[in-house]
Amino acid sequence: MFNLEDILKNNSLEERIYRFRCVEAWSMVVPWIGFPLGAMLQQFKPTSKARFVQFTTLYDPKVMLGQQNNVLDWPYVEGLRIDEAMHPRCQPRTG
């Protein structure tokens, strides 16, 4: 088990601005503060048998009010292949 403090102390935070443009005609600018997911995975040292990384969102509908809607099954779960997760532009949200 890893504590958030242990993860953060070994990874320096970076600030980036991402511009998303969708083919459905919407766009947004998203500020991001975090560190590359690959750096965190290297810290955990997954075995060569590991093929995927799974992410599960926080489920707290009293704080996360959008979770009170039945748009998605909560908690939301997503995954990446290890090679995708190690890409330099793949980052977890940390701040």
- Residues 91 and 14: their CA atoms lie apart, in Å, by 10
The predicted structure's pLDDT at residue 1: 63
Is 36 inside a domain boundary? yes
Tokens of 51: 């093929």
Give the mean model confidence (pLDDT) for residues 36-56. 86
The predicted structure's pLDDT at residue 61: 92
Is 52 inside a domain boundary? yes
Tokens of 76: 């939301």
Number of domains in the chain: 1
The predicted structure's pLDDT at residue 69: 85
Residue 15 domain boundaries:
4-85
Q: What is the pLDDT of residues 52-95, one digit of tens each?
A: 989 888 899 999 898 998 888 889 898 999 988 888 777 655 44
pTM for this entry:
0.61
The predicted structure's pLDDT at residue 93: 54
